[in-house]
A = this chain, B = another copy of it.
């Protein structure tokens, strides 16, 4: 087996934890696997370095920020290689410019364009564990780049894709992907498997286990990702293709997600003619405000309401912009509601199963929860509801769709 393992910042936060990582790597070597290890910086280190840069300049030069923050991963990669060699396991660290992990030149948010695998393969063939700092690369000219927050996941998946690894293991501080946030619903259950598409919906909706880009990449190159905890054993969650998953288990709904960091804005009675929606959303994107849910219903008397959600921090700004836009387009007015929650169910088989949507609406109704807006995609169904009902809605849906664990105490 060729295995790529990625460890996050809390898994390499000090020498004791780095020792645990080394022990795990060695156990894989001992069963005969080839291992590439991708590491994050020690927990807190990237922020420490960024604070130095921000202490100089609010918007420090991005090329130099990448030179600065890429050192965090360089440090952990060297420390793990030292640890492995000290434990009689041959190892070598290879930085982004040594592998070469080539990216575009978009400093602080670069995208990988190519990975040269020759030297990697040659070191693996010598029986060495190769330790690669996550998050960093070089552009065509050899300038140091970084991939953005959580970029180490992407490094790991990209390496697994190029090396055609059997699996990409992502070690983190949770033991897998859950059906919903265990902080909200104590009956949340670890999923054995989840499809790439479901994971994409889960991740973007708030289950922050994997960087979205890494899942997109894994989907593109069909790299199986196994999410596991680095603090113990346990099977983890396998993120893989739809088909593989469907043969393995037969749940329709993979999880319930929850987001209460958004606000709802409604532009009332917009004249129903071409170009109106464009006007509304262009003015928002010009102000760099990201819009999430968008709902426009059928019109009445040539007027229609346009409702959308934005991050709460941008709500006031969006409201002011909309007041201006409303006048320009001849709409009646704008209202805003910051006390909302968005509850979604995610599942690949959803659209091919009749009754999922009606079941969701029924469950919410039975709890006395009014639905303020609805959107759907192929594998996701979201309802915007009053903020105070968010947690209740998650618990009710989780139970209704059969996601609750049987034995809370025993499995924990």
- Seen from chain A, the residues whose Cβ lies within 8 Å of a Cβ on chain B are 15, 18-19, 49, 52-53, 55-57, 60-61, 63-65, 67-68, 70-71, 74-75, 77-79, 81-83, 85-86, 92-93, 95, 97-98, 142-144
What's the minimum C-beta distance from A269 to chain B, rounded to whole angstroms? Answer: 49
Task: Enumerate chain B residues within 8 angstroms of A55, measured Cβ to Cβ.
Answer: 15
Q: Are B57 and A68 in contact (CB under 8 A)?
A: no
Give the distance to chain B from A75, nearest Cβ to Cβ, in Å: 6
CB distance from A252 to the nearest CB of B (A): 49
Which residues of chain B are within 8 angstroms of A95 by Cβ–Cβ distance? 67, 144
Answer whether A67 and B86 are a contact pair too, CB < 8 Å, given A75-B49, A98-B143.
no
CA distance A200 to B144 in the complex (A): 38
A65 to chain B minimum Cβ distance, whole angstroms, is: 7
Q: From residue A18, how far is it (CB to closest CB) to chain B in Å?
A: 8
Partner of A64, one of B53, B68, B78: B78
Q: Are B77 and A74 in touch, CB under 8 angstroms? A: no
A68 touches B63 (CB 8 A): no
Determine the chain B residues whose CB is within 8 A of the CB of A56 once the complex forms.
15, 18-19, 79, 82-83, 86
Shortest beta-carbon distance, A56 to chain B, in Å? Answer: 5
Contact across chains for B52 and A67 when beta carbons are under 8 A apart: no
A-B contact pairs, 8 of them (CB 8 A): A53-B78, A53-B82, A67-B74, A67-B77, A67-B81, A67-B93, A68-B82, A74-B74
**Which residue of the partner chain B has the closest CB to A62?**
B82
Q: Is the CB of B82 within 8 A of A78?
A: no
Hey, which chain B residues are within 8 Å of A15, CB to CB?
52, 55-56
* Closest-CB distance, A148 to chain B (whole angstroms): 17
Q: Taking A49-B75, A64-B85 as given, write out 17 further A-B residue pairs in contact, using a Cβ cutoff of 8 Å, ordered by the A residue number.
A: A15-B56, A53-B82, A56-B83, A56-B86, A60-B86, A61-B81, A63-B81, A63-B92, A64-B79, A65-B78, A68-B75, A70-B74, A74-B74, A97-B97, A97-B142, A98-B142, A98-B143
In whole angstroms, how far apart are the Cα atoms of A150 and B308 in the complex?
61
Instruction: Report copies per complex.
Output: 2
Tell me how far the C-beta of A346 lies from the nearest C-beta in chain B, rounded to whole angstroms. Answer: 41
- Provide the main secondary structure of the chain A interface: helix
Q: With CB as the reference atom, state the residue of chain B lying closest to A77.
A: B67
Which residues of chain B come closer than 8 Å to A74, judged between CB atoms? 67-68, 70-71, 74
Taking the nearest CB of chain B, how far is it from the CB of A89, in angstroms? Answer: 11
Minimum C-beta distance from A55 to chain B (A): 5
What B residues does A79 contact at CB under 8 A? Answer: 52-53, 56, 64, 68
When distances are taken between beta carbons in the complex, the residues of chain B under 8 Å from A60 are 82, 85-86
Q: How far is the CA of A58 from the CA of B18 in the complex (A)?
A: 17
**Given known contacts A55-B15, A75-B71, is B61 in contact with A82 (CB within 8 Å)?**
yes
A49, A53, A56, A92 interface centre (most CB from chain B within 10 Å): A56
CB distance from A101 to the nearest CB of B (A): 13
Contact status A65-B82, CB under 8 Å: yes
Residues of B within 8 A of A52 (CB): 15, 75, 79
Instruction: Please list the 8 inter-chain residue pairs (A to B) with the smallest Cβ-Cβ separation, ordered nearest first.
Output: A68-B78, A57-B86, A71-B71, A67-B78, A64-B81, A60-B82, A64-B78, A61-B85
The residue on B at minimum CB distance from A98 is B142
Contacts of A86 in B (CB 8 A): 56-57, 60-61
Contact of A82 among B19, B64, B98 (CB under 8 A): B64
